[in-house]
């Protein structure tokens, strides 16, 4: 009996769904490389339409299954390579979709990337333009800009002149020309306000930087608002209001008031006839030659004041300070405060600062901790100084009359005045008494630190007061040498 003929099992065909997807992706990348498609456009299309690749993959698999049914063969499977390609496609597609929904311009502003620091694709193209028209008498100026520097200076002919310097990042000159045409700077007049709009968002998601040089009659008041870019205003008889989120702000030679909303900006203000107010944080601020008052609030890396004729107030998360006038200068950062020729009444509440003040006149109210305090009084007023974990040293005029009540818990009291009764026990030091005919009362309280009451003439005989101990930074371990072939 003949043995039955064994029919070999039908072999399944290899699926061409994966190669088809790779071919499509390869074509798109080729078109991007040869410049037919721009990379920005390619990325935008992929972020929006990548699920079509999975749909085409599924259609191909369905057609292959139907063909296998008609031929009586086994339909091709996906395979390990296909599964891996599908996973990569889904992950890349989801990532591209989420990335397309992010406002990259805002993120760029927040991390303060410069205009030319993040141009992965495309080229930079420059355009210059000018606008000019009459400036109605009594009108004010408002300048709005999203990205770019703003410079405002006086004009001499009663007109407004705007010089526009634009930089556009695009794939080609034709694209840059289109973005330039859709984002033209404009001048408008409404209810006595002349508005200059940079219109730097005309290019949509493309990077457009518009620098504006504006000349306007000196008497006009100014309002400038910019999100990313330096602002410089000089030569004004009217008030100045500047809102700058990222960039350096400068205002000088202003006969009116100056108001600053700095965001993360730094500022330099000088030669101001009126009051100055500023708020913000994250940068440095320098203010000098101010005839009016100074109001400052926010968190700043450093503060420099010089020659301020009116009241000064400053408030931050850990410092509250005010005084009447500053004939000298004041320099403050996160760990130190130095001042000279300051007129009280002076009030300061802070912590973790070493404080040294020279030539101070008037009343003093000072509270600190984790820092040393040194006061050089040129004219005594009443004084209240409270410190913790830091020394106190006070220099008073040799012939001054005053009363003293000093207590150092966990420390000692030292004095150059023999009229004071000083007692230093194990747990605290105390000094009380009256010098001369009495007068202002000096109340000094300290915990875990000494108190020194010195004559001004003894300044040259004593070393500078010890600074509060700083915690040293942990050194970075050295990198190991990389192995070489030798």
> Distance (Å, rounded) from C-alpha 175 to C-alpha 41?
12
Give the residue carrying structure tokens 């091709």. 76
Question: 172-182, pLDDT tens digit by residue?
Answer: 788 788 888 88
Element (H, E) at 200: none
On whether the CB atoms of residues 302 and 284 are closer than 8 A, the answer is: yes
- How many CA atoms, within 13 angstroms, populate the side-chain half-sphere of residue 89? 20
CA dihedral 256, 301, 304, 390 (to 10 degrees): 140
Neighbours of 412 (CB within 10 A): 18
Q: Partners of 321 in the beta sheet?
A: 314, 348
Neighbours of 296 (CB within 10 A): 23
> Distance (Å, rounded) from C-alpha 441 to C-alpha 409?
20
Give yes or no for a cis peptide into 345 (omega within 30° of 0): yes
pTM of the full structure: 0.71
Strands (E), 198-237: 208-217, 222-228, 231-236
- From residue 477, how far is each of 353, 473, 480 by CA, in Å? 30, 12, 9
> What HEC string does 321-335 produce?
EEECEEEEEEEEECC
Nearest to 188 by CA among 197, 177, 179: 197
Task: Please report the sign of the dihedral spanned by the C-alpha atoms of residue 420, residue 421, residue 424, residue 430.
Answer: negative
On whether the CB atoms of residues 295 and 277 are closer than 8 A, the answer is: yes
Residue 144: which residues within 8 A CB-CB, separation 6 or more? 195, 196, 197, 198, 225, 226
> Distance (Å, rounded) from C-alpha 377 to C-alpha 440?
12
Residue burial 29-51, b: 16+ Cβ < 10 Å; e: rest:
eeebeeeebbebebbeebbeebe
On whether the CB atoms of residues 237 and 187 are closer than 8 A, the answer is: no
Element (H, E) at 89: helix 79-100
On whether the CB atoms of residues 339 and 331 are closer than 8 A, the answer is: yes
pLDDT of residue 206: 62
Q: What is the DSSP letter of 113?
A: -
Question: 193-222, pLDDT tens digit by residue?
Answer: 999 998 877 555 566 889 999 999 999 999
pLDDT per residue rounded down to tens, the chain (486 residues): 445 555 455 455 666 666 776 777 777 677 666 666 566 666 667 777 778 777 877 777 777 777 777 777 776 766 676 677 778 778 877 877 777 666 555 555 454 444 444 444 457 889 999 999 999 999 999 999 988 999 999 998 989 999 999 988 777 788 788 888 887 889 999 999 999 998 877 555 566 889 999 999 999 999 999 988 999 999 999 999 999 888 899 999 999 999 999 988 899 999 999 999 999 877 899 999 999 999 999 999 999 999 999 999 999 999 999 999 999 999 999 899 999 999 999 999 999 999 999 999 999 999 999 999 999 999 999 999 999 999 999 999 988 999 999 999 999 999 999 999 999 988 899 999 999 998 999 999 999 999 999 998 876 544 554 544 444 444 444 444 444 344
Domain positions in the chain are: 17-100, 121-224
Whole-angstrom distance between the N-terminal and C-terminal Cα of the chain?
Answer: 77
Residue 213: which residues within 8 A CB-CB, separation 6 or more? 151, 153, 162, 163, 165
Residue 201: which residues within 8 A CB-CB, separation 6 or more? 146, 183, 208
């Amino acid at each position: 009996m003949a043995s039955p003929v064994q029919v070999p099992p039908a072999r399944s065909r290899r699926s061409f769904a994966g190669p088809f997807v790779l071919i499509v992706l390869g074509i798109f990348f080729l078109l991007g490389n040869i410049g037919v498609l721009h990379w920005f456009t390619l990325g935008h299309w992929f972020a929006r339409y990548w699920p079509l690749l999975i749909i085409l993959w599924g259609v191909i698999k369905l057609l292959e299954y139907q063909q296998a049914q008609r031929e009586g063969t086994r339909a091709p499977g996906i395979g390990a390579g296909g599964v891996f390609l599908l996973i990569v496609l889904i992950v890349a597609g989801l990532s591209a979709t989420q990335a397309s929904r992010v406002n990259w311009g805002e993120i760029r502003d927040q991390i303060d990337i410069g205009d030319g620091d993040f141009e992965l694709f495309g080229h930079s193209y420059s355009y210059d333009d000018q606008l000019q028209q009459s400036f109605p008498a009594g009108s004010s100026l408002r300048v709005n800009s999203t990205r770019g520097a703003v410079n405002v200076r006086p004009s001499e002919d009663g007109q407004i002149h705007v010089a526009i310097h634009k930089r556009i990042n695009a794939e080609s000159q034709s694209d840059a020309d289109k973005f330039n045409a859709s984002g033209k700077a404009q001048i408008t007049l409404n209810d006595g306000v002349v508005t200059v709009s940079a219109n730097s968002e005309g290019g949509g998601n493309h990077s457009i930087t518009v620098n504006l040089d504006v000349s306007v009659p000196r008497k006009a008041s100014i309002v400038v608002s910019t999100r990313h870019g330096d602002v410089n205003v000089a030569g004004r008889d009217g008030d100045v209001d500047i809102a700058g989120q990222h960039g350096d702000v400068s205002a000088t030679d202003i006969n009116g008031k100056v108001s600053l909303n700095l965001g993360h900006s730094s500022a330099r203000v000088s030669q101001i006839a009126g009051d100055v107010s500023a708020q913000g944080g994250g940068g440095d601020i320098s203010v000098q030659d101010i005839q009016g008052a100074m109001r400052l609030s926010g968190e700043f890396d450093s503060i420099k004041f010089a020659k301020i004729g009116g009241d000064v107030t400053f408030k931050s998360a850990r410092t509250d300070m005010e005084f009447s006038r500053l004939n000298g200068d004041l320099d403050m950062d996160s760990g130190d405060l130095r001042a000279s020729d300051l007129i009280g009444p002076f009030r300061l509440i802070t912590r973790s600062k070493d404080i040294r003040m020279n030539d101070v006149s008037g009343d003093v109210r000072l509270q600190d901790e984790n820092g040393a305090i040194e006061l050089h009084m040129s004219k005594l007023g009443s004084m209240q100084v409270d410190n913790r974990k830091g020394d106190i040293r006070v220099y008073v005029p040799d012939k001054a009359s005053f009363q003293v009540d000093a207590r150092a818990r966990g420390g000692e009291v030292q004095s150059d005045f023999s009229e004071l009764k000083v007692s230093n026990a194990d747990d605290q030091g105390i000094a009380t008494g009256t010098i001369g005919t009495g007068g202002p009362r000096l109340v000094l309280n300290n915990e875990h630190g000494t108190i020194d009451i010195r004559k001004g003439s003894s300044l040259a005989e004593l070393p500078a007061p010890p600074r509060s101990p700083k915690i040293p930074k942990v050194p970075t371990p050295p990198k190991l040498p990389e192995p070489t072939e030798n």
